[in-house]
Each structure stands twice: as C-alpha cells, then as structure tokens.
Amino acid sequence: MSATSLDEAVALTKKFTSKPSNEELLKLYSLYKQATEGDNTSERPGGFDFVAAAKYNAWLALKGKEKDEASSEYIELVNTLAGKYM
C-alpha cells in the first residue's frame, strides 16, 4: 500500500504498527507543517520544553521550501516508512 496524496499519507501513518524513530517523527512533522502551513513564523518555545524546541527547529530548517515540494517529500517518506512500520 502506498500513498499518492498528502491526505492518503497522513491516513497511512495511522496504520503503522510500530512507532518510527524520533528522527523520523521529526522529519514527518516538519515536512507536514511545511506542506500545510509554509514557513514557520511561530515564536520559539522557551524553557525546558525540549520536544517543542526540536519540532520548532526541524520545521524552521525547511524555511523556503515550497509547499508542493514538502508535500511530495512527506508522501515519499511515509511510503518508505510504511515498509518498515506496517
């Protein structure tokens, strides 16, 4: 099974039978946010919320990437991960 659209890819991630690595999850998160919202314009999280900071930084690293390109990369990554986690 493979996804051909962003919506299909999101649905496919919900069928994973085991959890991807933290690095893979960050990549999925950042590509999804870039594909759906564009560049990160939110405020940097403060304090000791390391998870929020990691997510923020991963998304910020994609600044300037076109939504269509991020969407394609997200779909490709989900299809690759599906082979490992389904």
User: Tens digits of per-residue pLDDT, 2-57?
Assistant: 899 999 999 999 999 999 999 999 999 999 999 999 999 999 998 899 999 999 99
Q: What single letter denotes the amino acid at residue 26? A: L
Please say whether the beta carbons of 76 and 11 come within 8 A.
Answer: no
What is the DSSP code (8-state) at residue 24?
H
Query: How many domains does the chain divide into?
Result: 1
Within a domain: residue 63?
Answer: yes
In terms of Cβ atoms closer than 10 Å to its own Cβ (0-12, 13-18, 19+), residue 58 is buried
At 63, give phi and psi (nearest 5°): -50, 130
Domain region containing 56: 6-85
- Give the domain CATH number at 31: 1.20.80.10
pLDDT at residue number 1: 75
Please say whether the beta carbons of 25 and 84 come within 8 A.
Answer: no
Within a domain: residue 1?
Answer: no
